[in-house]
Structure 1
Amino acid sequence: MTSTANPPITSPAGGSRSGVTVTPGRLFLGGEWVDGGDRRRPVIDPATGAEVTTVAEAGAEDVDRAVAAARRAFDSGVWSRLPARERGRVLIRAANLLRERSEEFARLESLDTGKPLVFSRVIDVSTAAEMLEYYGSLAGSVEGSVRSTGAPMMAYTRREPLGVVAAITPFNFPLVLSVSKIAPALAAGNALVHKPSEETPLTALRMADVLAEAGVPAGIFSVLTGGSEAGQALAAGRRVDKIAFTGSTAVGRKIAAAAGENLQHATVELGGKSANLIFADADIEAAVGTAINGFVYNTGQFCMAGSRVLVERPVYDQVVEAIAAASAHVPVGDPFDEGTVIGPMTGPRHLEKVRSFLRRAQEGGARVLGAGAAEPEAVTAGGYFTRPTVLADVAQDSPFVQEEIFGPVLTVQPFDSEDEAIRLANDTPYGLAAGLQTRDVTRAHRVAAALQAGLVWVNGWGVLDVAMPIGGYKASGYGRECGPEGLDEYLQTKSVLISL
């Protein structure tokens, strides 16, 4: 029988539980902290619903000032013409400073997003430091090549920075997704204006201090907190040479359209609806654990979440029952409780989106299992909590399979053959990630090649490394982050031909 027992949701232990002091945020513009206009925006603790602080609300005029400062700094050559190895040393110093302040950054990230502190420490802060270090080490390797031509001339290529980069990042991994743009952009010699999510801006503001202390010159890096006005002004700015965006597919389409109108470079890493294929020959116990981790991690607010599980029919009932039973016991609670695995959703808007999907599933007669079947709308102390929910026997054309829910909701479907599994996995608008669980090594290679996704895991889920590129197929976007491919996105090639 599938268990519906729910572990208690632990209550936040009061306002001091974060252990960090948070002051009202200002804009970091042109190397200085400025107040901006009179408008302020609250930052909410998603575990309690209480206001933590306020940050400045940047407007279009602030965007213009930041871009102008970035343009001046870039054109001056203070960073772009600095020897690449020296730029690399600055980024490595920033990595070391981040590690020295790792506990502060981890606690800020958990306070801001609601993710469990243990994950903020081990994954988010660690990954951000590794990115800075990796691209700091890679900066000195950027070089052109000498080419042979049919004419009497010396011919070679140069790899040069693009200029001014606009980086717009979402709420779910604010530190990692900020640094995934900051590190390669700066390593390549660009200037960068960053607008973090209006909901989770705190670590981006602290990164400005880290980069300045490490030696990034004034004007090369700015942070503008605020909402859609600042984001739209930055994306539409004609003095920006590249837009680097991570977020929803709907907003990504607008970003790409604006970049196309202005003939700007762009990378857009967008939504996902990733399929995890479990074959009958897999280690079922390990596969079930992988499936649960794939959809509950970061409260399901993960563009590469394994939100669809496809199971070979001989083990389908066994896997459904095991996932539903185990997910009912995943600890949900205060992110500063060391035993918490699922924290709150980052905000009320995201929580309501998940609840609306679950209401539709229940009204539509879907088989709803797991903790969410008994108590889907669990809330404590004003926080934005929900429990993991499993939807079994859903149709391929249902919105639960086709649309990104962005919460701890998993669909489970059966398949009868390898070809059917591949067809079902590829049959959504998205193509960001995918996975398969099998002991058959030839199947692993064959299926990985057939899956339409930018990243494929075999016998695991969610393992990422800064050396490996990330990016999407189809409506999951274009361009790549991480790896040397991520650095290439911030460079352009110039050919030089000298007559002899």
Structure 2
Amino acid sequence: MTTSELVYTSLDVIDTKMAVSKEFYFSRQKELSDAKNIAKTDLQFRLKQLKRLYNAVKKNEASLIRAMEKDYHRAPQESLQLELIPLYNDILHMIDCLPKWIKAKRVGDYSPAYMLGSVYVEKIARGSVLVVSPCNFPVLLALTPVANAIAAGNSVILKPSELTPATAREMQRIIEETVFPHGLLQVVQGAIPETTQLIRSPTFDMIFYTGSPKVGSIVAQEAGKNLTPCVLELGGKSPAFLTKNFDIRNRSKLHTAMKRLFFGAFSNAGQICVTPDYLVIHESIYDEVIREAKIVLNEMYPEFSNATDYTHMIGDRGYNVLTNLLEKTQGETYTPTAAAGFKSDTQDGKYCIPPTLVFDCPWDDPLMMEENFGPVLPFYKYSDLDETLDQIIARVDQPLVQYLFSDSAHERQKILTRLRSGDCLIGDTIIHVGIQESPFGGIGTSGYGNYGGQYGYDAFVHERTVFKQPFWMDFMLFMRYAPYTEAKRALVQVATEQRAWFDEDGNDYWYHNRLLYFFSFIGVALGALFAAYRS
């Protein structure tokens, strides 16, 4: 199939690409096994591919920004600060840290059966992996997991979103013009039929999907038929809290809080999986917060038109859904003064919704039902925090993230204890996704698995235990072999069974469990020597 911007990959070619991806992985592993220094050769290969990817994207920065602007009027600064710079930083972090991540980790076990052997955990590539990326961050959320997969030693097939066709086409051009080894990184273009063929294939050793919970559920079901592991980065209706313990007497602090909330709510026109989806505000500060919110919104958007440097909705579907919800809301809508009377020029394919605050939304409001995924921020006034948490838990028990604006550590901990979420930010919004040394991911319906820094690398590897037991140890382990005797059973119990370090009431004994293991080891050694002497 062909759209005005994108040529879809035929189903026959998809089969060929999957076969090439799998063959590349096995061929490279065979070639690698013949190397004089396998570890060094493998590391150098992976680093070289990451550097190629970095240079290719950096070289084509301007064309990628233009493509995103063409797809959905993406503000160029947002493409740079929210998409490309984080991608550059991610890849450079991988290049810098890969020599450390790739090393096997030695571990120990204090049991006499293992303590004199060699135990280490190595991280091996999964094989051929599939990355299915979304439309809202069409470069970052495509190429960051691709880079993670390459860093981990896999071959990759990327399926970009068809909803941002200019960007998908540009990424394919960049990848195909970069001198990657044949089969390492390939692109498949398409929509539902092409994606279905990919996720149903037993070829892949892992699937990394970013998108909606509805489609994520389908991906998981299809992958489960082949026992293919998945990482699902999904969405969720993420709440923001402005509690009674947030000091609004500090006007500058309240002003900054509003700017941070609106940065998260309206960047990329609110089309961010971690955007604050609604704001719950304690009744004692509600009116003051609304007054400040109006001031800040007009400061941030002093001018507004179809030509404003402001990101539009990605296509007509999301635009129509959200405008319909705004027509049905029970709340009071407020847009920047400059946007008064604004109407998007949909005839020319411009699907623009101004940043919109909706005051006094009840729980049963249409805007409070599902993730809005657009530049709309409902305000809900609450009186009792526990009752509010009860309502949130009853609706969306596992949001992707929660945002807390409270000066009370106890209150923050109360919310964190009651409300499960993938992540949490205190005093800011959305920027946590760029932290290199912490995991980003959902919980339950907002996804499973995570990535970011080493966590992204670990998502694409299998941790394999390698244990080497010296043969001379058998004089201490003879009791495991048949024929079994009472003496052997007693030795097995002394040597291998851990002893509880607490009594029936749960009170700890004065000695440490490892001390018991030491004496167990001595006992086994003496028993073995005695048995050897008797024989």
**TM-score computed with the length of structure 1 as normaliser:** 0.81
Give the one of 208, 211, 232 matched to 1:244. Answer: 208
After TM superposition, the structure 1 = structure 2 runs for residues 131-146 of structure 1, keeping only pairs within 5 Å, are 131-140=90-99, 141-146=101-106
Q: Which amino acid in the other structure matches residue 498 of structure 1?
A: K
2:12 alignment partner in structure 1: 61
Q: Which amino acid in the other structure matches residue 407 of structure 2?
A: R
Q: Is the 8 A contact 1:74 1:80 kept in 2?
A: no
Confirm whether residue 439 of structure 1 aligns to residue 407 of structure 2: yes
Rounded to whole Å, the distance in 1 between the matches of 2:191 and 2:355 is 30
Rounded to whole Å, the distance in 1 between the matches of 2:345 and 2:292 is 26
1:400 alignment partner in structure 2: 367
1:189 alignment partner in structure 2: 153
Give the one of 401, 414, 424 matched to 1:456. Answer: 424
Compare relative contact order (CA 8 Å, sep 6+) and give the higher one, 1 or 2: 1
SS of equivalent residue, structure 2 residue 451: coil
Higher Rg: 2
Rounded to whole Å, the distance in 1 between the matches of 2:429 and 2:468 is 51
User: Greater share of helix residues, 1 or 2?
Assistant: 2
Shift of 1:87: 0.9
Q: Which amino acid in the other structure matches residue 155 of structure 2?
A: A
Q: Which amino acid in the other structure matches residue 71 of structure 1?
A: K
Q: Which amino acid in the other structure matches residue 481 of structure 1?
A: Y
Give the one of 434, 441, 445 matched to 1:475. Answer: 445
Confirm whether residue 351 of structure 1 aligns to residue 316 of structure 2: no
Cα 1:374–1:203 change in 2 (3 A) is: closer
Confirm whether residue 302 of structure 1 aligns to residue 303 of structure 2: no
User: Once the two structures are superposed, what CA deviation does each residue of 1:108-162 show, in whole Å capped at 9, x if it has no partner?
Assistant: 2222232201111222111111122122223222233334461575433321011
After TM superposition, the structure 1 = structure 2 runs for residues 361-440 of structure 1, keeping only pairs within 5 Å, are 361=329, 365-371=330-336, 375=341, 377-379=343-345, 381-429=348-396, 430-440=398-408
Q: Is the 8 A contact 1:245 1:269 kept in 2?
A: yes
Shift of 1:332: 4.1
Cα 1:212–1:139 change in 2 (3 A) is: farther
Rounded to whole Å, the distance in 1 between the matches of 2:349 and 2:334 is 25
Cα 1:423–1:115 change in 2 (3 A) is: farther
Confirm whether residue 289 of structure 1 aligns to residue 248 of structure 2: no
Shift of 1:305: 1.0
2:434 alignment partner in structure 1: 465
Q: Which amino acid in the other structure matches residue 299 of structure 1?
A: A
Determine what percentage of the aligned residue pairs are the same residue: 23
SS of equivalent residue, structure 1 residue 431: coil
Rounded to whole Å, the distance in 1 between the matches of 2:297 and 2:394 is 26
1:36 alignment partner in structure 2: none
**Alignment: residue pair count:** 444
Mean CA deviation greater in 306-315 or 368-377: 368-377
Cα 1:241–1:105 change in 2 (3 A) is: same
Shift of 1:101: 3.1
Shift of 1:208: 4.7
User: Once the two structures are superposed, what CA deviation does each residue of 1:163-203 show, in whole Å capped at 9, x if it has no partner?
Assistant: 11111111110001002210111100011111111121444
Q: Is the 8 A contact 2:129 2:206 kept in 1?
A: yes
User: Once the two structures are superposed, what CA deviation does each residue of 1:378-434 show, in whole Å capped at 9, x if it has no partner?
Assistant: 336441112222222222244421301211111111122443454445443341011
Cα 1:451–1:214 change in 2 (3 A) is: farther
User: Once the two structures are superposed, what CA deviation does each residue of 1:2-29 show, in whole Å capped at 9, x if it has no partner?
Assistant: xxxxxxxxxxxxxxxxxxxxxxxxxxxx
Confirm whether residue 90 of structure 1 aligns to residue 49 of structure 2: yes
Rounded to whole Å, the distance in 2 between the matches of 1:332 and 1:68 is 50
Rounded to whole Å, the distance in 2 between the matches of 1:493 and 1:215 is 30
User: Structure 1: 5+ residue runs without aligned partners?
Assistant: 1-38, 43-53
Cα 1:264–1:456 change in 2 (3 A) is: same
Q: Is the 8 A contact 1:59 1:229 kept in 2?
A: no
Rounded to whole Å, the distance in 2 between the matches of 1:385 and 1:209 is 29
Cα 1:177–1:220 change in 2 (3 A) is: same
User: Greater share of strand residues, 1 or 2?
Assistant: 1
**TM-score computed with the length of structure 2 as normaliser:** 0.76
After TM superposition, the structure 1 = structure 2 runs for residues 54-133 of structure 1, keeping only pairs within 5 Å, are 54-77=5-28, 81=32, 82-133=41-92
User: Once the two structures are superposed, what CA deviation does each residue of 1:450-498 show, in whole Å capped at 9, x if it has no partner?
Assistant: 4422121111112131513211122111110212222111010222333
Rounded to whole Å, the distance in 1 between the matches of 2:230 and 2:80 is 31
